[in-house]
Amino acid sequence: DEEGLDVSYHKMYEAYNRIFQRLKLQYRVVEADSGAIGGNESHEFMVLAENGEAEIVYCENCDYGANTEKAVCSLEEPKAAEEEQLEREKV
């Protein structure tokens, strides 16, 4: 059932975290494309290294991280200046 699947997924997620921590690896857990397997969520545990076969993107200010297949950008709109804007004029 769906609830059992979520419980199992969480247990595996935590097991992988413990393994990577015990091995003292510098890693990131990132969102991944679930592909043909499907499902609501998929994660990859990626060791940070200079070389390898995959690329990831992540934010150092929040917990977001994803492989390059799944990554999305959500930049915040710049806040409007407090000053009154000047009218445009033709020059």
Residue 82 lies in a domain: no
pTM of the model: 0.66
Within-domain flag for 75: no
Q: What is the domain range of residue 15?
A: 2-67
Under the banding of pLDDT at 50, 70 and 90, the label for residue 27 is: very high
Residue 3 — pLDDT band, cuts 50, 70, 90? confident
Examine residue 91 and state whether it is found in any structural domain, yes or no.
Answer: no
88 domain-assigned = no
Note whether residue 86 is domain-resident. Answer: no
Percent of the chain residues topping a pLDDT of 90: 31
Angstrom distances, CA of residue 31 to CA of 10, 48, 49, 87, 91: 14, 15, 18, 45, 50
CA 45 to chain centre: 11
Mean per-residue pLDDT over the chain, rounded? 83
What element of type H or E holds 65? strand 65-67
Amino acid occupying residue 30: V
Is 21 part of a structural domain of the chain? Answer: yes
Reported confidence tier of residue 61, pLDDT bands at 50, 70, 90: confident
* C-alpha span between 5 and 16 (Å, rounded): 17
Q: Highest mean pLDDT: which of 23-32, 67-76, 82-91?
A: 23-32
- Sheet with 56-58: list strands edge to edge: 43-47, 27-31, 65-67, 56-58
Q: Provide the domain count of the chain.
A: 1
